Structure 1
Amino acid sequence: MSDHPRTTVGAYLATRLVQLGADHLFGLPGDFNLSLLDEMLTVDGLDWVGSTNELNASYAADGFARVGRRVGAFLTTYGVGELSALNGVAGSYAEDVPVVHVVGMPSRSSMDTGAPLHHTFLDGDFRRFERMSAEITAHRTVLDTDDPDDLVAEIDRVLRGALESGKPVYIGVPLDVATAAVPSGPIATPLRAPQSDTQAVAEFTDALRRRFDDVDRACLLVGPKVHRCAQEDAISSIAALPGVQVATQSGSKAILDETHPASLGTYLGATTRSDAAREAVDTASPLVMVGTVHSDFTTGFFTHGYDPGAAVELAVDRARIGRAVYPGVRMADALAALRDVVTASRLPQLAPVDLPATAPDTVEGDTLDQERFWGEVQQWLQPSTTVIAEAGTAFYGALDLSLAPDSDLLGQPVWSSIGYTLPATLGAGLAAPGRRPVLFIGDGSAQLTIQELGTVFARGLTPVVFVLNNSGYTVEREIQSPDAVYQDIVGWNWTQVPSALGAPGVTCMAATTPDELRDALAKAAGSPDAAFLIEVHLPRRDAPRLLAELARGINTSNA
């Protein structure tokens, strides 16, 4: 085997990540990962993105994977570093985002002898943190073998697992293994997601054809896993057929242009803005659920009127028609079958459903409140924008917007970890450099992860960051005890933050009136190649329509 081309474990892993589209590696250095980093960064095409902390690195890798429709990757050191990132990994697991967590570990000899090292509990158990990650990753490995072929096989197995599951994976690399020589030959064969079982696809297609006998329309409810499988074009091609209607869940808003004749807008159970759209989903027979997730926040606190068990479901790795399950039918092939069946069904052309305006028209007056703010934003939004909205006020305000063509909404409706979106903006901006990120984040949420804003600006990204300053945790005030001391936060001078974080050239503005907001929006629109931070002062107890509905749902659920 010595005559075969060789590389190192670190270089091999980096090459595989670049092949999978994870060409930006987020993270922080630490003594146990320095040799690994040195090897990984010898690989052309891998860009190191140093983060301000490990949690932010995990959030950034998640945003990169979501917007780029690919794998994301970040690197931490052992123990203290990897534990700091666990909340971000958990969010990726909850929302089906394939993120690779690479951990630089102590040397095998240190672990084998139970050496009392820093970043440990001094008890000789060096696999404890890997076991912690086992609950929030789909596949894991610690590269502790001496066999070079086994080392590359393990890397490939775990990375292939990320492709197959669409969830995070964990790769631990001991310090001495990072530089170990391994064969480079396998790199010539790219890793690919598993293929469908052709027999299962044929059986599913036949059953689907029978299910569509004598139907007058095809109604799709599309969820965020369609993004994970990069099947947006397949949804668009089906939506172009006669007799098709498409509603989206909150995590996949605008997957279809919201002005499209087939669009039913965003479905949220009883809180759906359009009664006609809600009825179209609830009475569909069959309803076709594509990449959906079923939770309190995606169903309007379980006020949905459809029966998921009776629906046709196209999941990542299987399909289902009622109670009949077809394992091994991948989403891409299931959508191709659906398109063929709908085409052959020759469904009648449907009149578009009249959707109500999703944001209020601009009104006269001097008060800047939630209704006025989102109305002004609606008029201002441009095509080809990545709209990023933080859990709480921002996300549920943005859901009532009608996004411009070729735009995305990035949020975290299932895990809903506050502070996620600011580092995710870094990942999103690097994954889609042709789209300007527009971030909406509350003042309380921003305080959790604000450090990464310095990295955003240092990387040359030009987002428009709206800090919604309503003096505390508005979503929690809506749920319970609005005047409790724990709802308050320390007031910051937000317009000075970019300068403090190393970006004095960022344009910072504060809006306390509608005129000031319009002026700020006009300046941001007129300078698309510049970064802006706009602090928007809003009433302390004011909330968007959907947030008020959410709070009532939580109150009912908790009761």
Structure 2
Amino acid sequence: MSDLPDVVSVGQYLAHRLIEVGGPHVFGLPGDFNLTLLDEMLTVDGVEWVGNTNELNAAYAADAYARTSRGIASLVTTYGVGELSAINGIAGSFAEDVPVLQITGMPTTAARTTGALSHHTLVDGDYDHFFRAYKEVTVAGAILRAADASRDIDRVLRAALDESKPVYLGIPMDIAAAPVSSAPLRHPLRATPSDSVALDDFRTALTEAFASRLGPQDPVTLLAGPRIHRRRAEHLLERIADHPGVRVATQASAKSMLPETHPASLGIYMGQMTPSAATRAAVDEAPLVVLAGTVLSDVLTGFYSQHFDFDAAVELGVSTARVGAVTFHDVRLEDSLAVVDEVVAGLTLSPGPAADTSWPYRAALPAAAPGSPLSQHELWTIVQSWLPTDSIAIADAGTAMYGALELQMPTGTDLLAQPIWSSIGYTLPATLGTSLASSRRSILFIGDGAAQLTATELSTILNRGLTPIIVLINNDGYTIERVIQSPAAVYQGVAAWDWAALPAALAPGVPVLTASVGTASELRDALAAAAGATDRAVLIQAHLDPNDAPPLLAALGAIAGGGREAPRAR
């Protein structure tokens, strides 16, 4: 920053901050109210524009980019029509604790002050309608003025750093090029540190809780949630897991955050939907559970069927820690995890047997009649044996996610899913975000119904030369809804698309490997070819019976449809 001029524009100032916080790629669409802002931002070396096919896709791509890069991602839209198209994606980022900056190019300050009737407005003279709407799905926001623009940019970005949530900036056309001092850029933004006194008090309370609640043969049991990932603290979780006598289960939204081959890994915990009976018992019957960065939502708890004692648990949140009935404020999750590691290191625990779990798709497939239709069980068993190391698996809400959750992720391979917000179609634009944020190859599993919502973003992926593998599960519509209710209803189907022809229509001249498979042997061949085609994107269309569902999805349907205990644990 030492070579910066003394004065920069507001747009340049914002661009420098975005590079600093890990978001050099800027997603979005141009519109007349953001053109000056874009022109200013793109004068800064290191900023790269990623034009999307619509604003919702831009928000989804930015969300996945932030999850993968661990920085703050951003998107730029125009006022009203653009920002409202993006708000569903931003709401998902809020629900799942992802720091995304929504930047709205706004009409001029004069137009806002006088209430001029303009296009893209509700023609009532009130220019704050959508700013107020975004307050519901962000933790901080501002409409910039020249006098304090840099201060508000820093305040809003720091809120995203502190809370791992989305934030909002409205930038009027005349403010985008306004001059501001570059002096604050010499001081990097930092998240607010933990309160040292509160952290010490938490350490004392945790030590006492372990001493009073754990016997010499009792393991330390952690249930790890997605907020550990958002705070970049997986290394602390693994360090805790390395201690003898520690067992770690993860929520579905945190799957593979601890390597699933780690001896302490119990796999995923979802209450009555937990795949392994041993995992469910290990968590529900533990004398003391440490809830580390968890979100106890319906799907993640098997529809609130967790049996552990929540009130007596140790709970580590993003900015608070709780031991039983006592809450310690201003304690950052990354610091509370470090304290857990420190306290556990001082315990004398019995190593105990290796964690007992099961992986259903590890078993060999039974012989099938030649040419018999591909089943969900065959699909996921073949994927399990094929899935490469050091990749990013992405699974859309629905059949894809519930199949992927029971895979054992190989070394270095993460699973990205959106089980809380569960907005179908999210993952196709998300694949753009992961592909830009990481050199690891992205492997997307998505249903045909979900893909139809956001398929246009395949154009951006292909035309940028990105090379993900896309496994499109074609089961003629919404199998997840069929499992829940009314499988034969007319609304469960979708129009048939020629998926093999889509890449050529969206990216003429770009080489893409395509395949259509309907049997186990065809799927094996297609995946083998995909692994070898590292220079191009791959689209594999897998045809499956509309009523065939992975076991975990069938369990969800049993609960949601009948309100009964799911026959899951084995």
Matches within 5 A, 1:432-443: 432-433=438-439, 435-443=440-448
Q: Which amino acid aligns with 1:98?
A: P
Displacement of 1:276 in angstroms is: 1.2
| 2:81 aligned with 1:76 | no
Q: 2:432 aligns with which of 423, 426, 443?
A: 426
Distance 1:137 1:234 in 2: 28
Question: For 2:98, what is the secondary structure of its paired residue?
Answer: coil
Q: CA RMSD in A?
A: 1.4
Partner of 2:383: 377
Residues 73 and 100 in structure 2, CA contact (< 8 A), matched pair in contact too: yes
- Between 1:452-461 and 1:372-381, the stretch displaced more is 452-461
Structure 1 residue 36 corresponds to structure 2 residue 37: yes
The aligned residue for residue 361 of structure 1 is: 364
Q: Paired residues, what number?
A: 553
Matched, 1:298 2:300: yes
| CA-CA distance at 1:155 after TM superposition | 0.7
Question: Which amino acid is the alignment partner of residue 166 of structure 1?
Answer: S
> Does structure 2 retain, via aligned residues, the 8 Å contact 1:443–1:472?
yes
The amino acid across from 1:511 in the alignment is V
After superposition, the C-alpha distances for 1:298-340 in whole angstroms (9 at most, x for unaligned) are 0111121112221101111010001110001111111111111
Q: Distance in 1 between matches of 2:192 and 2:420?
A: 27
Report deviation, 1:146.
4.0
The within-5 A match list for 1:50-61 is 50-61=51-62
Counterpart residue type for residue 312 of structure 1: V
Q: 1:244 and 1:557, CA in 2 relative to 1: closer, same or farther beyond 3 A? A: same
SS of equivalent to 2:299: coil
Query: What is the letter of the counterpart of residue 291 of structure 1?
Result: G
Please, what TM-score do these two structures have when normalized by structure 2? 0.95
Q: Which amino acid aligns with 2:9?
A: T
Match of 2:134 in 1: 133
Q: Following the alignment from structure 1 to structure 2, what is the Cα–Cα distance between the partners of residues 104 and 64?
A: 22
Contact 1:363/1:372 (<8 A) preserved: no
Q: Find the counterpart in structure 2 of residue 510 from structure 1.
A: 516
Structure 1 segments (4+ residues) deviating >4 Å: none
Partner of 2:9: 8
Q: Confirm or deny: 8 A CA contact 1:239 1:262 kept in the other structure.
A: yes
Secondary structure at the residue paired with 2:291?
strand
Equivalent in the alignment of 2:568: none
Structure 1 counterpart of 2:158: 160
> Which runs of 5 or more structure 2 residues have no equivalent in the other structure?
566-570
Q: Percent of pairs identical after alignment?
A: 51
The 1-side partners of 2:252 and 2:223 are apart by 11
Residues 285/8 of structure 1: CA separation in 2 closer, same or farther (3 Å cut): same
| 1:556 Cα offset (Å) | 3.5
| Structure 1 stretch displaced more, 25-34 or 119-128 | 119-128
| CA positional deviation for 1:354 | 2.6
| Rounded Cα–Cα distance in structure 1 between residues aligned with 2:463 and 2:353 | 49
Aligned partners of 2:373 and 2:544 also within 8 Å: no
The corresponding residue for 1:208 is 206
Separation in structure 2 between the aligned mates of residue 18 and residue 357 of structure 1, nearest angstrom: 41
Map residues 532-547 of structure 1 onto 2, 5 A cutoff. Answer: 532-547=538-553
Give yes or no for contact 1:423–1:449 (8 Å, CA) kept in 2.
yes
Output the CA distance in 2 between the equivalents of 1:146 and 1:277. 56
Q: Which residue of 2 aligns with 1:109?
A: 110
Instruction: State the alpha-carbon separation in 2 of the partners of residues 239 and 248 from structure 1.
Output: 12
Q: Is the 8 A contact 1:70 1:228 kept in 2?
A: no
Are 1:411 and 2:417 counterparts?
A: yes
One-letter code aligned to 2:344 = V
Aligned equivalent of 1:455, options 457, 460, 477: 460
Q: TM-score, normalised by structure 1?
A: 0.97
Do the aligned partners of residues 162 and 558 (structure 1) sit closer, same or farther apart at CA in structure 2, a change above 3 Å counting?
farther
Letter in 2 for 1:209: T
Letter in 2 for 1:467: L
Taking the aligned partners of 2:564 and 2:164, their CA distance within structure 1 comes to 31
Q: Shift of residue 13 of structure 1?
A: 0.6
Corresponding residue for residue 265 of structure 1: 267
> Does the 8 A contact of 2:558 with 2:564 survive in 1?
no
Query: What's the counterpart of residue 255 of structure 1?
Result: 257
